[in-house]
Amino acid sequence: MDNLLQSWSQQFPVWAWNLGVVVSALLLGFILKLIITGILHFYKNRDDYSLFRSIITHLGPPLNFFVPLLVLNFMLPLLEISKIFITPLDRLIGMLVVIAFANLLVNAFKIFEDYVYHQYDLTKEDNLKERKVRTQLIFVRKVVIIIVVLVTLSIILLSFNSVRKIGAGLLTGVGIGSIIIGFAAQKSLGNFLAGLQIAFTQPIRLDDVLVVEGEWGRVEDITLTYVVVRIWDQRRLILPITYFIEKPFQNWTRSTSEILGTVFLYVDYTFPVDSLRDELNRLLKTTKLWDKRVGILQVTDAKEHTIELRALVSALNSSQAFDLRCYIRENLLKYISENMPQNLPQARYQPSGKQNEEANHPVK
C-alpha cells in the first residue's frame, strides 16, 4: 500500500499531491461526520426531549472541525513536505485536534445537562428536588469546563520543548512559588471553596426565595464567584458567593415552598370577632390561592385604643401567599366598612368630673 501511494505521488507535482491529500482528508472527514449525524437523525423522534436530537444539537458543530482535523492528522505522513516544514505543521494540526476535542468534551457535557433538565422539571409546583439537582449541576459544569480548559492548555504548552525545560527548572522553586500563588489567589480560592460548599450543602438553590439585604427576590444564577438575586421589581442584586457562607439571610424555600402569611387588622374593642372569622372562612373557600392547610383569625394584642386581629393563612409558595394576603386584606376591610363601620377604630373623648358638673348645672 505504501509503495502504491509512493508511485502515485511521483506522478503528480508536489504541490498538486499535497493539495489533493489535504482536500481528500477534509472531504473524508466531512463524509464521516455526515454519516454519523445521518444515523442520529434517523433515530431522532419528535418528542419534547430526544437524546439523539440533543446529540445532534450539541455535537454537530464541534464534529464539523474535529473529524476532518483528525483525518488530516492521520494522513499527514502522506504529504511530500520537507522535514523542516512537516514538524511545525504536525504540531499545529495536533494542537488544533486537541482544541477541537476539548470543545467536543464541553459540548458532550451539555448532552448530560439536557437529560438532567428533562428528568428534573423546574416548572412543577413542588420543585425542591429539581432545584437541588440543578444547583449542583451548574457548579459541576463550571468545574468541568475549567478542568478541560486547563488540561488542554497544559497539553498544548507541553508540546513545546522550551516550555518543558522552563517547567523543569521551575520545579526547584515550587515551594516558594506555591506560597506566592496561594497569597495571590487567596480570594479566588475562597470563592471556589465557597461555591463548592454551597453546591453540596446548599444553603441556597436556584429559584430559592430569599430575603437578603432587606430585599425579597429569587436566586436567578449561581456562578463560581457571585450569586444573582432577581428582586420582585425586576432589579438584580449581585452578591459575592462568600456572602451566603459568612452572613445571615432568610431562605423561604429551604426545605419546602409552602409558607404562611399574615394579615393584621386594627379595630375597636366592641368589634364582633366571630362574624369576621366566618367571613374569612368564606373568602378562603372561594379562592384557589389558599392550599387549605391553615386559615384562622385570632386576637393577638390589645392596645390602648384598638385590638389587633391577625389572619393566618397558608399557600403553596411565597408568590401565592403574597397575593392571598392582599386578597384577604382587601376583602376583610371591605366587609368591615360595609357591614360594621361603627366598629372601626374610634377616638373617644371622656369629659372630666368638673366639666360634667358644669354640664349638668349650667350657669344662669
Give backbone dihedrals phi and psi of 292, rounded to 5 degrees, phi first.
Answer: 70, 20
Measure the CA–CA gap between 138 and 113, rounded to whole angstroms.
Answer: 9
What is the DSSP track for 158-221?
A: HTSHHHHHHHHHHGGGHHHHHHHHHHHTHHHHHHHHHHHHHHHH-SS-TT-EEEETTEEEEEEE
Measure the CA–CA gap between 60 and 54, rounded to whole angstroms.
Answer: 10
**314: three-class secondary structure by DSSP:** strand
pLDDT in tens, the chain (364 residues): 445 445 555 555 555 655 666 677 667 767 776 776 666 565 555 555 567 677 777 777 787 778 777 777 777 766 666 566 677 777 888 888 888 889 888 888 888 888 887 777 766 666 667 777 777 787 788 888 888 888 888 888 777 766 655 555 544 444 544 555 555 455 666 667 777 777 777 888 888 889 999 898 999 888 878 899 999 888 999 998 888 888 899 988 877 778 888 999 999 988 999 999 999 999 999 999 998 899 999 999 998 888 999 999 999 888 888 899 999 999 999 999 999 888 877 766 656 555 555 545 554 4
Q: Are 86 and 76 in contact (CB under 8 A)?
A: yes
Handedness of CA 242, 246, 251, 256 (dihedral sign): positive
Nearest to 78 by CA among 70, 68, 86, 69: 86
Q: pLDDT of 39-79, one tens digit each?
A: 656 555 555 556 767 777 777 778 777 877 777 777 776 66
Strands 259-267 and 250-251: what pairing?
A: unpaired
